[in-house]
Chain A
Amino acid sequence: MSEPTVRAIERDELLVAETSEGDQELQRRENTSTSELSREIGAVLPSNDLHIDPMSIDVERRDDETMIINMGPSHPSTHGVLRLMLELDGEYVLRCKPVIGYLHTGMEKTAEELSYIQGATNVTRMDYLSPVINELNYSLAVEMLLGIEVPERAVWIRMMMSELNRMSSHLVWMATNGMDLGSTSMMIYGLRERELILAFFEKTAGLRLNLNYVRPGGVAADLPDGWKDDVAVICDTIDERTYEYDQLLTGQPIFRERMVGVAPITAEEALSLSVTGPVLRSTGVPWDLRRTMPYLAYDQVEFDVIVGTYGDNFDRYAIRLNEIRESIRIVRQCAERMPSGDYRSQDPKVTPPPRARIGESMEALIHHFKLFTEGFHVPVGEVYSAVESPRGEIGCYLVSDGSAKPYRLHVRGPSFVNLQAIPLLMRGGSVSDAITTVSTVDPVLGEVDR
């Protein structure tokens, strides 16, 4: 039935046909329009001084002297399935275009088929390194449409869990960034510390990743017995270890050589590219939604917004390291001031009844049945909520048509937007710096592709 052999040339053509993404790929210069070219070399605003005329640079190089190569989609340093197409002149990057979509699973479409209760399990899988913050953002949007208040204890539990999650996400970043630069010991240390936090998540929510812990109306379960001791151990250990990272990386000459002054970005460029999070803060813009547009109870805790100066790779590293310390401060304050009370709203239309009540109360049984077969109805409306994830502003635009399922759920993924800064950051750098740069922008491909 199948042909016995395929000649080598045909096989090459077949491979190209199977894997080509057509116009999504980086084209040769003669096939690229001027405006497209200017995006690929990272030019930003045509209306002000930041504009670079794409025709004025690199013109002396002919196409046959440069090379277009693929990095990814399966490349150990691209943090998932990011595919970068680079035009290289020897060792130096002239143009760059990220090609994404290899992890696209249609989660926004899936969300339209799931009820509001099930929705949390869906969004938690988008940015798989900060599941709590995804759920939190979704839950805040649903609660804004419902117009319900969550109890104070739930607010503080949410805040503590999202800070723990921020720590674990930054620790993974420290680990992978270390490995991209050849520091395999950092890889081990980062994941070792993260394990402490994941073990606590497992104790609290039952799962290590994709917790489905924050839900519309509150959180899924109260904190476990002895949580204060666990949290204290986590804070003390990681706080101490961050100083070990200082010794291992911050002051180390080889590490600094690779990071300091590499891939700088200015505040104007970052703002016009809609970049948020540590990449924006590294340029000196003190924009952190926890401080500037407080949600939960972030206006009641003390913490500092870390900013950089030069917007280079080292600033982005230093910001993340120090944000771990700030998160530890917030977690300690949460543990100290954790109020007592309910951990979820007592509105029976939103919150399922306790298991034990189902056996004794007809009403509880009905509520339970209604919630898990049909779900709760959300008033017609549209809302945008945004919180600060470890990667920047994660936004959730939710449209409701009054039924029990979202009409449209759009998630503004910070990694998706931050990826646009990569051509700008990479231009003129070497290939080895390109790998560091992808790492310090910290894209999570689950969120980029959704």
Chain B
Amino acid sequence: MVEAFRRAGFETCADLCAVDYLTHPGRTLPEGVRAERFEVVVNLLSLSLRQRVRVRVQVPESDPVVASLVDSYPGVDAMEREAFDMVGIIFEGHPDLTRILMPEDWEGHPLRKDYGVGNVPVQFKEAPGPR
């Protein structure tokens, strides 16, 4: 579907982010779309039409995998890595899906709603030895 938008003149993917709807009381979705825990939001931009389009993809909690957009829009590379790092969405086909903002050995995905604020003791690396 995103590829169809690209052919329709949406040259740029302005933004991609993921939202965790775990504790949200309810959102309006079109008829026939089943609400899932995660949502990946893609903002496409057309320079020629001067229009924006927002694509919201429902991603189930049990299998948080969506297809990567890197082949259509190489600019989503870092944004998909951020969504993976922060919310734990897995983008299939991404060349280098690693953490981008958090340290490599971090556990959990901080922007999930069940990730408690201040509950995790922060120790960024092993305590340094004497020098």
Contact = CB atoms under 8 A, between A and B. Distances in A.
A393 B25 CA distance: 31
A-B pairs with the 5 shortest C-beta distances? A274-B75, A35-B95, A22-B104, A101-B101, A410-B17
Interface in A36-52: 36, 38-39, 44-47
A14 interface: yes
Interface string B61-98: 00000000001111111110010001000000001101
B75 A275 contact: yes
B43 A273 contact: no
A394 to B, nearest CB: 10
B14 to A, nearest CB: 6
Contact of B101 (A3, A4, A100, A113): A100
B96 A36 contact: yes
Contact of B102 (A39, A104, A408): A104
A3 B130 contact: yes
A417 B14 CA distance: 9
A292 B98 CA distance: 35
Contact of B27 (A11, A22, A36, A380): A380
11 contacts: A3-B129, A18-B125, A24-B98, A39-B74, A109-B110, A275-B75, A292-B47, A382-B41, A384-B52, A410-B41, A419-B78
B121 to A, nearest CB: 15
Interface of A: 2-6, 11, 14, 17-24, 33, 35-36, 38-39, 44-47, 100-101, 104, 106, 108-109, 113, 271-276, 285, 287, 292-293, 380, 382, 384, 386, 393, 395, 397, 399, 401-402, 407-408, 410, 412, 416-417, 419-420, 449-450
Contacts of A4: 130
A104 B102 CA distance: 7
Is the contact region of chain B dominated by helix, strand, or loop, or is it mixed? loop
Nearest to A407: B24
A27 to B, nearest CB: 10
B117 A39 contact: no
Contacts, number: 139
Given A22-B105, A412-B14, A44 B129 contact: no
Interface of B: 11-15, 17, 19-20, 23-28, 41, 43, 47, 50, 52, 54, 71-79, 82, 86, 95-96, 98-105, 110-111, 117, 125-126, 128-131
B75 A47 contact: no
Contact of B75 (A21, A22, A395, A417): A417
Contacts of B47: 271, 285, 287, 292
Nearest to B51: A293
A396 to B, nearest CB: 10
Given A6-B130, A14-B129, A109-B110, A417 B78 contact: yes
B25 A24 contact: no
B117 A109 contact: yes
A43 B67 CA distance: 20
B96 A274 contact: no
Contacts of A382: 27, 41
A85 to B, nearest CB: 13
A2 B130 CA distance: 7
A416 B104 contact: no
B20 A408 contact: yes
A6 B131 contact: yes
Contact of B24 (A3, A274, A401, A416): A401
A417 B82 CA distance: 11
Given A24-B99, A412-B15, A17 B73 contact: no
A100 B76 contact: no
A386 B14 contact: yes
B78 A420 contact: yes
A449 B101 contact: yes
A167 to B, nearest CB: 25
A20 B98 CA distance: 14
Nearest to B25: A401
